[in-house]
């Protein structure tokens, strides 16, 4: 059963190439430039991916993009290019270090599990280093930064917020909501948007309630959008033909959550280019 599931997931990831090409076409007309930046992140050397529109001048908001548990792959790079097409400087984060990514769910679970289980200090160290790198980019206004994340990446940006990082806002797309160290009152400086699938079986109603209670207790500025019919990983077109129970692409939820992110950025990042 496990090997069959792995084969199905691998074939779905391969099918994502066509979807990524289609997503990239929307930003192809912009003068999008990309680069790889290297920096120390916790115990690893990270090699993250930067995208920006070279036709724009002056400083602009910067956005971190934290990938799913697969690591820094083409899907995360595509989202970074999409943000660059909206006028942001986007940094897709190499959260595992050394440019590592995988299509093997067992390997992905091992890598992400090491960072999620127990004390998440190393995970926080790695995402904090990425934020410092983003803020140091000469095109970025360090006073206007945000972070978005998908699945495991959503968990990661929530940890960034819980750490009290000086980041304007974070957006979690179908991320894990649990906390190893819940935020206390006043600790969360960032404004928080969570985009969650109503039918996501990986986050129980009790976990959703616990997250809401945590945000209330932390007195955070937070909001949660819950999309009807949406399961886990609803933003990734690679899951359009998923046969894995609980994982499915949902076009409406994908588009609505992306628009919600744009509206959120327009609100919290003064002078945001996302119109």
pLDDT digits (tens, 9 = 90+) for 83-107: 999 999 999 999 999 999 999 999 9
How are strands ordered across the β-sheet holding 222-227? 32-41, 44-53, 89-92, 60-66, 140-150, 169-173, 191-197, 222-227
Q: Which of 152, 167, 148 is nearest to 115 (CA)?
A: 152
Is residue 30 over pLDDT 80? no
Contact 41, 129 (CB under 8 A): yes
Question: What does the alpha-carbon distance between residue 170 and residue 120 come to, in Å, rounded to a whole number?
Answer: 18
Residues ≥6 apart with Cβ < 8 Å to 179: 158, 159, 162, 211, 214
Q: Which two tokens stand for residue 149?
A: 């994340």
The structural domains of the chain, ordered by start, are 2-268 (3.40.50.1820)
Write out the E strands in the chain.
32-41, 44-53, 60-66, 89-92, 140-150, 169-173, 191-197, 222-227
Q: First-to-last CA distance in the chain?
A: 46
Could you write out the DSSP letters of every residue in 166-179? S-SEEEEES-----
Which of 71-75, 227-231, 236-240 has the lowest average pLDDT? 236-240
Residues ≥6 apart with Cβ < 8 Å to 54: 31, 32, 33
Question: What does the alpha-carbon distance between residue 108 and residue 147 come to, in Å, rounded to a whole number?
Answer: 21
Task: Share the mean pLDDT of the chain.
Answer: 91
Answer with the residue of higher pLDDT: 48 or 274: 48
User: Residue 11: pLDDT band by 50, 70, 90 thresholds?
Assistant: low
Q: 3-state DSSP call for residue 83?
A: helix
pTM for this entry: 0.88
Name the DSSP letter for residue 237: G
Q: Which two tokens stand for residue 161?
A: 């917020």
Which strand (E) or helix (H) includes residue 215? helix 205-217
pLDDT tens by residue, 189-224: 999 999 999 999 999 999 999 999 999 999 999 999
């Amino acid at each position: 059963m496990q090997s069959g599931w792995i084969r199905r997931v691998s074939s779905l990831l391969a099918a994502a190439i066509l979807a990524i090409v289609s997503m990239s076409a929307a930003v192809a007309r912009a003068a999008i430039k990309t680069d790889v930046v290297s920096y120390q992140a916790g115990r690893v050397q990270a090699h993250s991916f930067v995208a920006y529109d070279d036709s724009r001048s002056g400083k602009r908001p910067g956005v971190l993009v934290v990938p799913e548990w697969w690591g820094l792959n083409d899907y995360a790079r595509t989202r970074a290019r999409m943000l660059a097409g909206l006028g942001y400087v986007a940094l897709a984060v190499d959260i595992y270090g050394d440019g590592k990514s995988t299509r093997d769910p067992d390997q992905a679970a091992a890598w992400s599990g090491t960072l999620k289980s127990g004390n998440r200090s190393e995970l926080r160290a790695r995402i904090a280093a990425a934020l410092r790198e983003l803020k140091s980019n000469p095109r970025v206004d360090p006073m206007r930064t945000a972070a978005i994340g998908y699945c495991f990446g959503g968990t990661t940006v929530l940890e960034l917020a819980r750490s009290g990082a000086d980041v304007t806002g974070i957006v979690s797309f179908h991320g894990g909501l649990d906390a190893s160290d819940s935020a206390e009152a006043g600790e969360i400086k960032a404004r928080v948007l969570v985009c969650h699938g109503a039918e996501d079986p990986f986050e129980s109603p009790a976990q959703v309630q616990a997250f809401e209670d945590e945000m209330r207790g932390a007195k955070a500025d937070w909001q949660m959008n819950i999309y009807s019919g949406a399961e886990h990983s609803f933003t990734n077109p690679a899951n359009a033909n998923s046969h894995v129970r609980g994982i499915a692409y949902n076009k409406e939820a994908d588009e609505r959550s992306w628009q919600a992110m744009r509206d959120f950025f327009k609100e919290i990042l003064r002078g945001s280019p996302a119109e």
